[in-house]
A and B are shown apart, each in its own frame.
Chain A
Amino acid sequence: MRKLCTAAAALTALALSLAGCASTPAATGTSTAGGGTTLTVFAAASMKPTFTALGTAFESTHAGVKVTFNFAGSQTLAEQIINGAAADAFASANEANMKTVTDAGLAATGAQVYATNQLTIAVPPDNPAGITSWNDLTKKGLKLVVCAPVVPCGAATEKIEQATGTTLTPVSEEQAVTDVMAKVQAGEADAGLVYQTDVIAAGETVKGIEFAESSKAINTNVIAALKDGPQAKLGQEFVDLVLSAEGQQVLKAAGFGAAD
């Protein structure tokens, strides 16, 4: 009897060690899928370059944590969160879409402003229409492309128009700032109104022309950790990273204005 017990114990130990052997390579190979945890951040499409960099920084300080992003329009993201999408943090490109999430009681803490951005004029590198100022945008025959007033960049455009008493006559009112950029990059448009960050991200493909009137419409980006996220605690830590000096440095380099 005793012999049998010993044998059983040995067998169990062997089985355990085998299982251990088997799982070790898998764990080291795919530490993210196996034992690791995944932090899911929903962020406005405009945050793609900066947040991707911050995600890598977050992963390097949190062993075993994989950060995945869902970059899309803030409205789409807010809609998905309200409809039960599993997200740990939400970065909205404006306050209105964040409000729908906080109003639904889904934010862990109050939303915080983490960056601002302003409009700038984007023109093709050779600036065929010779644009140098906001007032140049009212030139006759100019192919100007802007965002539709219902999307944030278009609302900002409209606000500047009202504040300066100018009326723009765009040839197209696009759905997203990326669509405006694409038309300037393709040379179809003589000028487009986009964010400073977009011009910096586009590199050599467009030229940015800053104008003083853009201070009439400063857009605020807000972020919040989400209460019902599967990794709500990590979500808050990511928010802290974005608000930290390190995070702010990354955002500043990309052309965003300071949070205050």
Chain B
Amino acid sequence: MTMGEQARGRAPRVYSGLPRWLFVPAALGATLVVLPLFALTTRLDWTRFFELITSDSSMAALRLSLETSVASTVICIVLGVPLALVLAREQFPGQALVRTLVLLPLVLPPVVGGIALLYTFGRRGLLAPVMDLFGIQIAFSTAAVVIAQSFVALPFLVVSLEGTLRTVGRRYELVAATLGARPSTVLGRITLPLVLPGLVSAAVLSFARALGEFGATLTFAGSLQGVTRTLPLEIYLQRVTDPDAAIALSLVLIAVAVAVTLVTARISDRAIG
């Protein structure tokens, strides 16, 4: 199994077989990502850091960001896992097209996503007659933030989980089926436990994407403290008057993202081990 191989490969330091010159572009690549983050910290007013991140508006934005990101991650799991399963295991006409369309938010500028959502869930959007019937109004609500985040984050979960499903293969599933297990039993007892580490990292990816969501939220949900103004929107707004606050909040956002990634990496490591 691939997972077993990974676990074995990590323990002793083995000869990588990489040419030495490869380290130059690799180091440049790492620098490109890390240097701007470092530059951000050099501009930070550490004496005001705590005061800046604990202001009312900052705390409201942080709380809202965490709540909405968790909610949209749950939606991504509920809708994305079945979608990934269907795409990885089924064969149907137009499958390639469906996959391409579903993954489109990966490459779509988030603002375009926001406009598209507006024309779908907005007051004059495609679903407006249905939503009017039930008296639902989504625009300018926290629900709009969650929808925008789910829209941009879902493809991350689907693409990453579909890859895991294909790597894991169907062998155990087929064995279980021949032994008389029903499809739901196979799914619950074989498939999902097998891809769990992959599912966890896929969920983290979509959580991180949801946390950083900006363009679609701004376009679709608006910006109001405590209701729709998430941390990225707050950072963008603060930048106008108080760049120090924007930098401090950026670091908070980075810290949250790093913490979540590290914790889940450990969880999925343990699951593999």
Can you name the residue of chain B whose Cβ is closest to the Cβ of A170?
B224
Contacting residue for A171 out of B119, B140, B218, B233, CB 8 A: B140
State in angstroms the CA–CA spacing of A59 and B118 once bound together. 41
Interface flags for A63-87 (1: CB within 8 Å of B; 0: not) read 0000000000101000000000000
Q: Is the CB of B118 within 8 A of A173?
A: no
Known: A73-B240, A148-B223, A148-B237. Is A172-B124 also a contact (CB below 8 A)? Answer: no
Known: A171-B140, A188-B118, A188-B139. Is A182-B224 also a contact (CB below 8 A)? Answer: no
Q: Is the CB of A182 within 8 A of B219?
A: yes
Known: A187-B123, A188-B123. Is A171-B224 also a contact (CB below 8 A)? Answer: yes
The reply to whether the CB of B222 lies closer than 8 angstroms to some CB of chain A is yes
Q: Is the CB of A145 within 8 A of B222?
A: yes
Q: Is the CB of A143 within 8 A of B118?
A: no
Interface flags for B82-97 (1: CB within 8 Å of A; 0: not) read 0000000000000000
Measured between beta carbons, the chain B residues less than 8 angstroms from A174 are 222-223
State in angstroms the CA–CA spacing of A143 and B241 once bound together. 26
Q: Which of B140, B222, B241 has the most CB of A within 10 A?
A: B222
Contacting residue for B223 out of A73, A172, A186, CB 8 A: A172
B89: min CB distance to chain A, Å? 40
Known: A148-B223, A172-B228, A175-B218. Is A75-B122 also a contact (CB below 8 A)? Answer: no
Which chain A residues numbered 175 to 206 have a C-beta less than 8 Å away from chain B?
Answer: 175, 179, 182-183, 186-188
7 additional A-B pairs beyond A75-B239, A151-B240, beta carbons within 8 Å, are: A150-B241, A172-B221, A174-B222, A175-B223, A179-B219, A186-B124, A187-B123
Q: Which residues of B contact A (CB under 8 A)?
A: 118-119, 122-124, 139-140, 218-219, 221-225, 228-229, 233, 236-241
Q: Which residues of A contact B (CB under 8 A)?
A: 73, 75, 143, 145, 148, 150-151, 170-175, 179, 182-183, 186-188
Would you mind naming 18 contact pairs between A and B with Cβ atoms under 8 Å apart? Answer: A75-B240, A143-B139, A148-B237, A150-B240, A150-B241, A171-B140, A172-B224, A173-B223, A173-B224, A174-B223, A179-B218, A179-B219, A183-B222, A186-B119, A187-B122, A188-B118, A188-B139, A188-B140
